[in-house]
Amino acid sequence: MGKKTTNTKTPVKSKAAPRDEAAPKITSDYIEGLVDDIMEMTDGFKVFENIDSALNGTERMRLFGPGVRNYGFMDKAWDIAHDNPMFTPPNLNVQEMGGLMRDIEDLRQLAFVLEQFLQVVNDLLLIKSNDAYRMALRVYRTLQEQARNRVPGAAPLFEALLMFFRRRRRITENEPTVKELEHDVKRLLKGEADGEIIIKNEQPHISGGAREVIDNVHTGRRAAKETIEVEEDNSKRR
């Protein structure tokens, strides 16, 4: 069967640096230049392909993606249409379909290369973040020891870092338990009680998140029951 062909150019690989020469470190100017180049290439690509904006989640759900099964189905259907024109739909443009298949192959290869590049960037980001976090822990532990020894000026500096490791802070003593909250929710859903339950949650960013629970079903009065600050003392989180 006549298969489609894709023009591919073999990239010219740069010569590797000799082993005895130290590899140059990535500088801020290099990263900034790389970001500018990628943004320029992205804008040019969007103009060339006439893509005004990215798809949202709903739009993506409505489209057929180039997964393994979908791509195999499309590829086989194109082969059949190309080699058996007498069986193709009357208004089907076989050449246009072949062009779409070539575009899919090219875009899949481009996406694969970009994913490899993104993995390298994310790995480097994780490595450098880990190094910086461990250095920050050394600063924290030094200030902790100095604050314990009552070194003048160390306590407020230590408190500024300690706030990132706060675990749990109670606002009132009369807080509902999880079982009590579940019981009140069931009563509301069944129409057996009047009132409302409000749960507000803030995801942790820099200084930790907070969760606020307001239950005026169980006690009959509106009161902020609980605030939880999420622990961020984990070098694996980013």
Examine the pLDDT at 129 and tell me if it is beyond 60. Answer: yes
Which tokens in the block code for residue 186? 């069931």
> Average pLDDT, whole number, for the chain?
78
Q: What is the pLDDT of residue 206?
A: 45
Planar angle of CA 232, 235, 238, nearest 5 degrees = 75
pLDDT confidence of 179, banded at 50, 70, 90? confident
Backbone angles phi, psi at 235, to 5 degrees: -70, -10
Q: Quick one: DSSP state of residue 2?
A: -
pLDDT confidence of 2, banded at 50, 70, 90? very low
Distances (CA, A) of 72 to 8, 94, 111, 205: 21, 17, 18, 42
Q: What is the pLDDT of residue 188?
A: 78
Q: What is the pLDDT of residue 213?
A: 59
Q: What is the pLDDT of residues 198-209, one digit of tens each?
A: 776 665 544 455
Q: What is the pLDDT of residue 174?
A: 61
Q: What is the pLDDT of residue 141?
A: 95
The residue among 226 and 139 whose pLDDT is bigger is 139
